[in-house]
Amino acid sequence: MSGDHSDAAIARRVRRMETLLEEKGVLSGARLDEIIDASLSGASPANGARVVARAWTDPGYRRRLLADGTAAVRELGFMEGSYQRLRVVENTADTHNVIVCTLCSCYPLRLLGPSPSWYKSEAYRSRVVREPRTVLAEFGLELPAGTEITVWDSSAETRYMVLPRRPEGTEGLGEEELAALVTRNALIGTAAV
């Protein structure tokens, strides 16, 4: 890809595409609004948090989630109608995962909600690949020197979500209480739970 990928440039391209669709009679403005509203309805990091809480409390679900993220989240009613593949990567005591989309800002919208501005920024997209430990420290996440950091690059076909480590001392909590601990940044990998 070449050219200007700033938020303003992307917004201009999106508006131009909308205008062309309307001018050619492919879709009306009202129908475009309906499609956008439908795609965003229910899009929330609370959905990803529910997936994580289920994985923390149900070992069978956790295995299914790591083997086929798309199918596992569909069990909970997410990603219906989505054509992307979801791959869930698990943080462990020795490995920490972080998500990026180096070309744009692809990520599982229905599970994480609208992407934060920093996720779309050129600085994050380029630096997290080159110096992930430094970028994570800037988010306040200091990992032990021996922790391996794996950076996963989302694409139009495959989206990623992090399965964070379950915090110690939460064994007595139910799914709803556990889900309340999970943040969008933990699902991206720029924070721990």
Per the structure block, which two tokens stand in for 167?
């915090």
Residue 2 known to be catalytic = no
Residue 39 known to be catalytic = no
Catalytic residue of the set 44, 82, 104, 155: 104
For the chain, the farthest-separated pair of C-alpha atoms sits apart, in whole angstroms, at 59
Residue 104 known to be catalytic = yes
Say if strands 158-163 and 85-90 run parallel, antiparallel, or are unpaired.
parallel
2 is in an annotated binding site: no
104 is in an annotated binding site: yes
Q: Do 58 and 131 contact (CB within 8 A), yes or no?
A: no
117 is in an annotated binding site: no
Q: What angle do CA 42, 115, 41 make, to 5 degrees?
A: 15
Which residues does 189 contact at the CB level (< 8 Å), separation at least 6? 91, 96, 97, 98, 99, 136, 162, 164
- Closest C-alpha among 161, 160, 153 to residue 103: 153
Q: Do 121 and 50 contact (CB within 8 A), yes or no?
A: no
User: Catalytic site residues?
Assistant: 101, 104-106
Q: Which residues are annotated as a binding site for Fe(3+)?
A: 101, 104-106
Q: Which residues are annotated as a binding site?
A: 101, 104-106
